[in-house]
């Protein structure tokens, strides 16, 4: 019996990082764009090895992902991941999860911002003529892993001893894209003035956890619209469905901009979308996430992050 081929996924389940750069691009409709994009895919693993060899203690990692339009434009000959499409906005009675454009994303993380910057300059050097920046956000680890609003972020991530394929990476259900991941991002801006006016006890009811020790509120204490309650979903058999979050805070204090960059890696985007529908529409309808009273989503884009094996094929190997 032949041994099943091992698949090498990108580092989607890596530590969120002390410092992060997220870059979202449009790929220009110019001569040479296809060749440069495919060449970059083929060499991406080599760029990663070079960084890790040069800076072995940097805790460096980077993920590359493609939006639906870019995939159809450059890689349709390889087929299309089952759930890769342009994100359709989720419009609730009160709030909307907007959809914003994006062909290409890089999620760069490292112990120091200098390492992130070094890799960002490599990207710029290789792709400068064929991409146009849509958004670049620099994030950082805040205190002991807290979001800007003062609560620990990522507590609901799968336990480290669980198989990441169960939550963050495509499996045999879409065999040609096994080891890939559906990467969904949203940039949230927080109303810190309004948030800070809430007593701590009220903030805890918004999140569903105690602020200072991250202990979950009891079912009796937790309102139906608490953030960690509306985003807790199950399948038909009662099994909890999870994704891997790599959220990162960002801020521009001189302009009063404070936010959270939501970064969610999932085996199935349907799981992420159900969480978003619970937040923005409610289940039952109207039971929307209380956190949205203080947090506005200004972006929303879906990408697919291929395995290293598939990136090689995308590069013509």
- Token code pair at residue 280: 């923005």
Indicate which residue of 135, 153, 289, 309 is catalytic: 153
CB 14 within 8 A of CB 52: no
Cis status, amide bond into 284, omega within 30 of 0: yes
Selection from 125, 119, 138 nearest residue 49 by Cα: 119
State phi, psi for 110 to the nearest 5 degrees: -165, 170
- Rounded to whole angstroms, the Cα distance separating 264 from 259 reads 16
* CA 307 vs CA 27, 78, 182, 271: distances in Å: 21, 13, 11, 20
- Rounded to whole angstroms, the Cα distance separating 4 from 11 reads 21
CB 61 within 8 A of CB 74: no
Question: 283 an active-site residue?
Answer: no
Catalytic residue list: 153
């Amino acid at each position: 019996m032949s041994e099943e081929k091992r698949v090498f996924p990108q580092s989607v389940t890596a530590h969120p990082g002390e410092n992060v750069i997220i870059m979202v691009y449009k790929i220009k409709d110019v001569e040479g764009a296809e060749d440069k994009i495919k060449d970059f895919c083929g060499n991406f693993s080599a760029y990663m090895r070079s960084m890790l060899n040069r800076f072995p203690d940097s805790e460096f990692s980077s993920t590359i992902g493609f939006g639906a339009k870019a995939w159809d434009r450059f890689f349709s000959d390889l087929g299309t991941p089952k759930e890769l499409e342009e994100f359709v906005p989720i419009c609730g009675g009160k709030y909307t999860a907007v959809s914003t454009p994006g062909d290409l994303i890089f999620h760069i993380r490292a112990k120091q911002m200098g390492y992130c910057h070094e890799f960002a300059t490599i990207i710029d050097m290789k792709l400068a003529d064929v991409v146009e920046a849509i958004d670049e956000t620099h994030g950082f680890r805040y205190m002991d892993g807290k979001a800007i609003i003062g609560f620990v972020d990522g507590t609901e991530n799968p336990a480290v001893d669980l198989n990441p394929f169960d939550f963050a990476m495509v499996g045999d259900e879409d065999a040609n894209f096994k080891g890939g991941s559906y990467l969904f991002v949203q940039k949230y801006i927080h109303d810190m003035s309004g948030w800070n006016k809430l007593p701590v006890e009220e903030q805890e009811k918004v999140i569903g956890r105690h602020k200072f020790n991250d202990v979950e509120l009891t079912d009796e204490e937790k309102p139906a619209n608490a953030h960690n309650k509306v985003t807790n979903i199950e399948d038909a058999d009662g099994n909890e469905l999870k994704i891997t979050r790599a959220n990162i805070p960002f801020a521009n204090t001189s302009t009063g901009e404070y936010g959270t960059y939501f970064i969610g890696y999932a085996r199935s985007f349907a799981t992420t979308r159900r969480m978003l529908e619970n937040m923005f529409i409610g289940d039952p309808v109207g039971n929307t996430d209380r956190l949205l009273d203080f947090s506005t989503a200004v972006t929303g884009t879906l990408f697919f992050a291929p395995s290293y094996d598939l990136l090689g094929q995308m590069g013509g190997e």
